[in-house]
Chain A
Amino acid sequence: GAVVSQHPSWVICKSGTSVKIECRSLDFQATTMFWYRQFPKQSLMLMATSNEGSKATYEQGVEKDKFLINHASLTLSTLTVTSAHPEDSSFYICSARDVGSRTEAFFGQGTRLTVV
């Protein structure tokens, strides 16, 4: 199946700094990518939908100025957590859909963010 790669797999940062997470579709083009956040023992929570060449659409309650999303190409979307705080510590997962696939979404391996 198609591969979606996230980088880094884990990151530790100091409170107040910003962290960028990359999501790449390696062997297909993805016009739309999705960013999820997952806290321990909980399900995935959709944060935003990232559309290539346009502004991201954020879910209710997600601060767009804090979680900056850029989808500059058909294979790359980035999520920047600005001025991170300990409560932003979580598992962030991206997902992408192959424009040629009708039925399957592919997920990255996730990024574990720890803010200290």
Chain B
Amino acid sequence: LAKTTQPISMDSYEGQEVNITCSHNNIATNDYITWYQQFPSQGPRFIIQGYKTKVTNEVASLFIPADRKSSTLSLPRVSLSDTAVYYCLVASVMIYNQGGKLIFGQGTELSVKP
């Protein structure tokens, strides 16, 4: 499994766009990049997943450069309720197909201030 590196913490203000970058230098050809959000005392919640270029859903955008050695989760116009820990995971599609395990890194604690 490719190891990921994220900033430990980030601060932002309401209404700002927040970009969290994750490094995964050893990403393999079959690996997907997935981001999860976790609030205190809750299980992680799926945010977005991508393989290359850009992916956008109703919650966030995910930017992946051509070399795929990093990815950036973009949260538009954050609110106080976006205060949470964000995890970047890299795992092979084979892991998903075969029920393989997901290993979490340390995550980024995002604090949104009024």
Query: For the complex, is A105 an interface residue (Cβ under 8 Å from B)?
Result: yes
How many chain B residues have a CB neighbour from A under 8 Å? 22
Q: Is the CB of A95 within 8 A of B41?
A: no
Give the contact-size bracket for chain A: 20 to 34
B102 pairs with A95, CB closer than 8 A: yes
| Residues of chain B at the chain A interface (Cβ within 8 Å) | 32, 34, 36, 41-46, 49, 87, 93, 96-97, 99, 101-107
Beta-carbon nearest neighbor of B103 in chain A: A46
Min Cβ gap A109→B in Å is 5
Task: List residues of chain B with CB within 8 A of the CB of A51.
Answer: 99
* Docked pose: A93 CA to B87 CA in angstroms: 15
Verify A43–B105 contact, CB threshold 8 A. Answer: yes
Interface residues of A in 1-57 (CB under 8 A from B): 1, 4, 6, 31-32, 34, 36, 43-46, 49, 51
| Cα of A91 to Cα of B104 in the assembled complex, Å | 15
CA gap between A45 and B96 in the complex, in Å: 18
